[in-house]
Structure 1
Amino acid sequence: MPKGEFGDMVRLGKQVFTETGKYAPKYVGNKLNCVNCHLDAGRLANSAPLWAAWGKYPAYRGKNKMVNTMEERIQGCFTYSMNGSAPPADSQELKALMSYAYWLAEGAPTGVDLPGRGYPKLDEPENKPDYQRGEQVFVNNCALCHGDKGEGRKQNGKVVFPSLWGDDSFNWGAGMHRVNTAAAFIHANMPLGKGGSLTEQQAWDVAYYVNSHERPQDPRFKENVKTTKEAYHQHQCNYGEKIGKSVLGKR
């Protein structure tokens, strides 16, 4: 890492990225860390690495229908994936994350879709994603690390594997609540260290299963679930859908 004050900021950025609740507690509302969705401290290809994202911003995002800077993109992660609040642009935490991302991307071209950016998109599944099949994939491949009820695992009070649903997980506005996004991430990266070992159908099924459980409300919620679904959830997700006896998002 660099020396001097810039190096100090880069190191802080890595700490915020890998232990977000510890180093940015004011802005985190669950038990997740940035590294849970961007593996290997934001460096792993096909796991939405920071070095590949840096050169593609500013960019228009359909999610909020505006051009977003990299700072705004990270702020959105805190609002949705961390179920918290956006760090101000002049905050030490956001400056540190920006410094870390910049350092990781040094030498990379701008405006180019670098190989390994984001999560590799999957083709639509041959069979419609299924809850029961997904549950079996989860039991056989995921529960060991993430718990039988998706609650994650702790060691000496520290989270070592994240919650996949419930109060300690991402909210209904996070990108990972989309079944197609979760399936792409899972297929490329899960089980941890064994990315690509699940079939694409298994990835679709287990993504559907994981996102068929309750989680914190979408911060954009307005009036009721139906209205919120119509405004913000016209994509591949289970928000507002009846799974079992409950309509998701009504908790």
Structure 2
Amino acid sequence: MNRNLMTLSGLLFFALGNNVQAGDLPDKQAELKLAAPAQDADYLKMRSLATIPEGVFGDKVRLGYQLFVNTQQLRGQYVGNELNCVNCHMDAGRRANASPLWAAYLAYPAYRKKNDKVNSYQERIQGCFTYSMNGKAPESGSEPLVALSAYSYWLAMGGLMDKYGVTGAVPELSDAELLKGGKREDFVLPEAIAKATTLDERAKLPGRGFPAIPKPEQAYSPARGEQVYRAHCQSCHGENGEGLAMGGVYSLPPLWGPNSFNWGAGMHRVNTAANFIYENMPLGKSVQLSHQEAWDVAAFVVSHERPQDPRLEGDKVMELSKRYHQHQGYYGKSVGEGAVLGTQSYPINPVKQ
């Protein structure tokens, strides 16, 4: 493993000294259309991590896994908050209906209306670092992007091979091929898989994304959501959404405030948060929230101030809101007697104190 990735004590790039313009940060977080979870779905089954091969390719896969579950290794370079990728993509990115990596890899490249281009898999990951991790996108072709792509590919291809009876090790790909993603006609597949599935079927595997739940019977309410939060979420995520840290290491993630995802992240949408919460929370699901409770608590969580949207130019919050935030969210709006959200946001990619 590159030791620089394990010893990122140098604070190399921060928003206060960042000359990147908002125009360089198009919306790469536009959400995909989701469906309700399939009944009796035949989800891909993941190979044991112990079967990751030895050698150069296996080292890339292992590094991708390590960065995914402990993304804080990249704090001060590409990460600016206290989150890890695994906080939203459960079970090391392997769990169905928790936006698993194996399904995402096979869904890219994909066209995004809001930035009017086809995004490769590495570009999708870059967007996650910019927004969900409140940091800086790794450079195209960089070691972290190759590693995360290799891990995603290994999960996807291993699952497909096992499902369709293809034995042996996952075929190795070059770095350039790994970074593209698997939704393309020239993506190399074993013959048995290519014959049994279409490109579109592989891009829409059961378990992909956070399955959509029904719309709430009542309009979602941050006030009602606070009651749900106090009853079911506060014990893990803190009274003020600050998460749980021991010895400076967060075991449970902050949901708002300076150390959480920023206003550009997909999770700041009420519907995205509601879908995730209903399917995956509370952790362990000893209590199953109702659809209404999931919508309400999602509204409560995302109606709090958080780090700024990196696309903001100057103090034009309302202008940015009209351009990028015409969806179920609270950026550019006030809740109760509070200030307009986005006007008192926290820094992007800050120096860790």
Percent sequence identity is 57
**Which residues in structure 2 correspond to 1:205-216 (within 5 Å)?**
205-216=296-307
In the alignment, the residues of structure 2 paired with residue 72 and residue 196 of structure 1 have an alpha-carbon distance, to the nearest angstrom, of 36
In the alignment, the residues of structure 2 paired with residue 231 and residue 64 of structure 1 have an alpha-carbon distance, to the nearest angstrom, of 12
The answer to whether the Cα contact below 8 Å between 1:60 and 1:68 also exists between their aligned partners in 2 is yes
Deviation at 1:25, TM superposition (A): 4.2
Q: Please name the residue that 1:153 is paired with.
A: 244
Does residue 120 in structure 1 map to residue 211 in structure 2? yes
Deviation at 1:111, TM superposition (A): 3.2
Larger RCO (CA under 8 A, 6+ residues apart): 2
How many residues align structurally? 251
The alignment's C-alpha RMSD in Å is 1.4
In the alignment, the residues of structure 1 paired with residue 265 and residue 68 of structure 2 have an alpha-carbon distance, to the nearest angstrom, of 17
Q: Please name the residue that 2:294 is paired with.
A: 203
Does residue 111 in structure 1 map to residue 200 in structure 2? yes
Structure 1 portions without partners, runs of 5+:
none
Which AA in structure 2 matches 1:100?
Y
In the alignment, the residues of structure 1 paired with residue 57 and residue 68 of structure 2 have an alpha-carbon distance, to the nearest angstrom, of 16
Alpha carbons of structure 1 residues 52 and 195: separation in structure 2 relative to 1, 3 Å: farther
> 1:229 is matched with which residue: 296, 311, 321?
321
Q: Which has the larger radius of gyration?
A: 2
In the alignment, the residues of structure 2 paired with residue 111 and residue 196 of structure 1 have an alpha-carbon distance, to the nearest angstrom, of 35
Deviation at 1:134, TM superposition (A): 0.2
Alpha carbons of structure 1 residues 59 and 127: separation in structure 2 relative to 1, 3 Å: same
In the alignment, the residues of structure 1 paired with residue 64 and residue 282 of structure 2 have an alpha-carbon distance, to the nearest angstrom, of 27
Deviation at 1:23, TM superposition (A): 4.3
> 2:226 is matched with which residue: 126, 131, 135?
135
Deviation at 1:2, TM superposition (A): 1.4
The answer to whether the Cα contact below 8 Å between 2:75 and 2:81 also exists between their aligned partners in 1 is no
Does residue 250 in structure 1 map to residue 343 in structure 2? yes
Q: Please name the residue that 2:261 is paired with.
A: 170
Does residue 240 in structure 1 map to residue 332 in structure 2? yes
For residues 119-156 of structure 1, give each alpha carbon's deviation from its aligned partner in whole angstroms, at most 9, with x where no partner exists.
01122211011121100000001011100100000123
In the alignment, the residues of structure 2 paired with residue 185 and residue 196 of structure 1 have an alpha-carbon distance, to the nearest angstrom, of 15
Which AA in structure 2 matches 1:54?
Y
In the alignment, the residues of structure 2 paired with residue 171 and residue 125 of structure 1 have an alpha-carbon distance, to the nearest angstrom, of 25
Structure 2 portions without partners, runs of 5+:
1-51, 161-196, 345-353
In the alignment, the residues of structure 2 paired with residue 91 and residue 177 of structure 1 have an alpha-carbon distance, to the nearest angstrom, of 28
Segments of 4+ moved more than 4 angstroms:
none
Q: Please name the residue that 2:69 is paired with.
A: 18
Does residue 88 in structure 1 map to residue 179 in structure 2? no
Alpha carbons of structure 1 residues 195 and 2: separation in structure 2 relative to 1, 3 Å: farther
In the alignment, the residues of structure 2 paired with residue 176 and residue 12 of structure 1 have an alpha-carbon distance, to the nearest angstrom, of 26
SS in 2 for 1:240: coil
Q: Please name the residue that 2:123 is paired with.
A: 72
- When structure 1 is superposed on structure 2, of 76-85 and 55-64 the one drifting more is 55-64
In the alignment, the residues of structure 2 paired with residue 171 and residue 63 of structure 1 have an alpha-carbon distance, to the nearest angstrom, of 18
In the alignment, the residues of structure 2 paired with residue 61 and residue 242 of structure 1 have an alpha-carbon distance, to the nearest angstrom, of 29
In the alignment, the residues of structure 2 paired with residue 62 and residue 137 of structure 1 have an alpha-carbon distance, to the nearest angstrom, of 35
In the alignment, the residues of structure 2 paired with residue 58 and residue 147 of structure 1 have an alpha-carbon distance, to the nearest angstrom, of 38
Deviation at 1:64, TM superposition (A): 2.4
Q: Please name the residue that 2:104 is paired with.
A: 53
SS in 2 for 1:159: strand
In the alignment, the residues of structure 1 paired with residue 200 and residue 65 of structure 2 have an alpha-carbon distance, to the nearest angstrom, of 24
For residues 68-90 of structure 1, give each alpha carbon's deviation from its aligned partner in whole angstroms, at most 9, with x where no partner exists.
00000000000000011111122
Deviation at 1:65, TM superposition (A): 2.6
Does residue 7 in structure 1 map to residue 58 in structure 2? yes
In the superposition, the TM-score normalised over structure 1's length comes to 0.96
For residues 90-112 of structure 1, give each alpha carbon's deviation from its aligned partner in whole angstroms, at most 9, with x where no partner exists.
21111110110010101536432
The answer to whether the Cα contact below 8 Å between 2:138 and 2:145 also exists between their aligned partners in 1 is yes
> 2:311 is matched with which residue: 198, 220, 223?
220
Which AA in structure 1 matches 2:207?
G
> 2:94 is matched with which residue: 39, 43, 55?
43
